[in-house]
Structure 1
Amino acid sequence: MKQKVEDLDWKNLGFVYRDLPYRYEAKYKDGEWQEGKLIEDSTLVLSEGAEILHYGQEIFEGLKAYRREDGKINLFRPDENAHRFALSAERLAMPPFPEDRFVEAVKQVVLANKEYVPPYDSGATLYLRPFMIGTSNVLGVQAANEYTFRIFAVPVGAYIKGLNPADYIVSEYDRAAYAGTGQAKTSGNYASSLLPSVEAHKNGFADCLYLDPREHKYVDEFGGANFYGITQEGQFVTPKSKSILISITKRSLLELAKKQGLNPVERQITLEEAFNMKEAGAMGTAAVISPVGSITYEGKKHVIYSETETGPVTTKLYNELVDIQYGKQEGPEGWVQTID
């Protein structure tokens, strides 16, 4: 059933799927991408032999549209999402969707569903989910020769509500293999994190923190977000690894941290060093920035800054990033595209 805008409680949306009126679809066939268009049907019809159902050729993205105070709508670095989507496609042996068409399709979906972009100051956004799947019939292990690309939109509240410190546990599982598909945004990486996440939630934790898959010595990332820390010397550090997702939020925060004099760097971070950070947090499109209250490892809890209060560096980074996204502050050139 289509979601009626008048039925939405903007301040209590949650992070759940809703069927909006319009989405974008394009097909890949005979070696080229066909012309795409907006459609109203939210269903997909697949053959039982479709490649996605057997060998998992699937990639996706996540980005948001923000209602400004003047009523216009901002997109935050959609060109970066388009580029990461293309990189993910190449890693999964899929035909990249043209990056300029990706950005244009995102804009079409936002404008077609613009009444569902939450009001300014509601704390909510319009989340865009582009994805691509292999649809041709296969039996042996091989890449598909036909694909479907879609973008749908959903009004959402915060994935992690506000700057409230959360508790995490170090997982005994690996999320992705070194030099595997960890740098691609593909469903298999997230499927492998579901069991650890379920177990973490049962034990009262927000999510898992994964270590590097080769030595289990260095911090990689959380189940749904990247990790950052503020050292005792005040430096912004974030893991560098071949098994973690290329994060647009992380790249943005590295620039903002440099502007704020935090001498940011990507490098390996040992677990012991993470325990001794002055501040730490999770960062991503859905999470934005979420402070880490504690990290539990082998039954021992390590508190980072505070379990009840957010550190000053995290607060300042969060405020600047969000102000740029909502148009309250001008960001670096090209970061924001305003539509409507």
Structure 2
Amino acid sequence: MSTANMIKANLDWANLGFQYRDTGWRYRAKLTDGVWHEEANPTKDMVISEGSQAINYGQQCFEGMKAYTTINGDVVVFRPDMNFARLNQSAARLLMDPIPEEIFMGGLQKLIDHNLAYVPPYGHGASLYIRPLYIGIGDNLGLKPASEYIFTIYCSPVGPYYKNGFKPISLMVSSYDRAAPHGTGNVKVGGNYAAGLIASREAKNAGFDDAIFLDAATRRYIDEAGTSNFFGITADGTLVTPASSSILESITRISLTEVALFLGMNVESRPVALEELGTFVEAGCCGTAAVVTPIGKITSGDRSWTFGDGINAGAQVKKLYDTLIDIQNGKEPAFARWLTKMG
């Protein structure tokens, strides 16, 4: 049924930041001896053994998803099938048991059903951020896969990831490496993000919005920003995204390349050298949290590259952003298949 007239939580929907809010209900299931058991109405706190592999050896992975209220009043989730597949790819990399589709999708539906009041109304620029989290637990000591696992999904209503919304950001090329070749850079595991915290702090302390990383092998090529994938747009309207085995396969980036083709742009996926930044007339970063965010400037040491006028979003980045938002809001029928109705 349509949720257009549902009573919503008493929040200032147009001015939400990107921070955690306890909605009071989350989904949780535990895998023990090969059998999944759902937990009834769990609290936000989890009690796990001090020997758990998640907290000793980092055996944990997660996803980021969003739910929206469309122009028709439906509650939809954007491409959850891809999140399900990517979470299991991450789990396989860490030797974690696969999550069954009925646990992931069934849990997601239950989460939405119990949190409809927190799905922002249409037209406020906000969304319900959804975090599936998978961790290894149990009384372990040695370095080996966990004996038990917990899968949980929680959510929080959020506004834009960057506080200034759809405004160009500035990035500083970090001297730290995000991920090594043949490591875990292409899967969504917590250690990748913990390792990048110091780079992000240094960038912000220097007056930038975030860090951007180069490849660890040669330090010649763009990998990705601290929270999102990079893309550049050339003067002839070609969308260029870096190709690297250590870059996370961003669902937003994959979607954005399809949107670009839909808009008549050319698309290339290839290594992008730092020295090539000067050939891009516009640039941006993209991800579930950041959606599409224009980049105004990238700085590496005493060199800087400015995109557009550095102050306003370029026309092509804005068109990509507007089209993706229209898709997520149910206003672009050509991509209706990307939306899974859940309320």
TM-score normalised to structure 1 length: 0.95
- Distance in 2, Cα, partners of 1:59 & 1:328: 33
Match of 1:226 among 224, 229, 246: 229
Matched residue type, 1:56: G
Could you tell me how far apart the structure 2 residues matched to 1:163 and 1:93 are? 39
Separation in structure 1 between the aligned mates of residue 40 and residue 317 of structure 2, nearest angstrom: 39
Please say if residues 60 and 136 of structure 2, whose CA atoms lie closer than 8 Å, have aligned partners that are also in contact. yes
- Name the aligned partner's letter for residue 125 of structure 1: S
Q: AA paired with 1:127?
A: Y
Matched, 1:122 2:124: yes
CA contact (8 A) 2:30 2:39 kept: no
Aligned twin of 1:27: 30
In structure 2, distance between residues paired with 1:53 and 1:304: 41
Q: Deviations over 1:22-81 (max 9, x none)?
A: 11111111124x143552411100111111111010100000000123322111100000
What displacement does 1:7 show?
A: 4.4
* Percentage of matched positions with identical amino acids: 44
1:185 paired residue among 182, 188, 193: 188
Kindly indicate whether residue 65 of structure 2 is the aligned counterpart of residue 63 of structure 1: yes
Counterpart in the other structure of 1:169: 172
Shift of 1:332: 2.9
| C-alpha displacement of 1:299 | 2.1
**Partner residue, 1:244:** 247
Extract unaligned runs of 5+ from structure 1: none
Query: Any conservation in 1 of the 2:9–2:118 contact (CA below 8 Å)?
Result: no
- Which amino acid in 2 is paired with 1:224? T
| C-alpha contact 1:28 1:147 (8 A) present in aligned 2 | yes
Deviation at 1:187, TM superposition (A): 0.5
With over 3 angstroms needed to count, the CA separation of the structure-2 counterparts of 1:222 and 1:339, relative to structure 1, is: same
**Which secondary structure does the structure 2 equivalent of 1:209 belong to?**
strand
Aligned amino acid, residue 199 of structure 2: P
Is the Cα contact below 8 Å between 1:217 and 1:271 reproduced in 2? yes
Distance in 2 (CA, whole Å) between partners of 1:250 and 1:320 is 13
3-state SS of the aligned residue for 1:42? coil
Match of residue 3 from structure 2: none
CA–CA distance in structure 1, aligned partners of residues 229 and 264 of structure 2: 21
Q: Aligned residues, how many?
A: 336
Structure 1 residue identity aligned to 2:145:
A
Cα-Cα RMSD: 1.5
Q: Tell me whether 155-164 or 6-15 shows the greater mean CA deviation.
A: 6-15
Which residues in structure 2 correspond to 1:70-149 (within 5 Å)?
Answer: 70-149=72-151
Contact 1:276 1:304 in 2 (8 A): no
Find out whether 1:203 has 2:206 as its counterpart: yes
Q: Paired residue for 1:308, among 311, 314, 319?
A: 311
Give the TM-score, by structure 2 length.
0.94
Kept after mapping to 1: 8 A contact 2:231/2:241: yes
Cα displacement (A) at 1:256: 0.9
The one-letter code matched in structure 1 to 2:133 is: F
**Aligned equivalents of 2:309, 2:139: Cα separation in 1:** 53
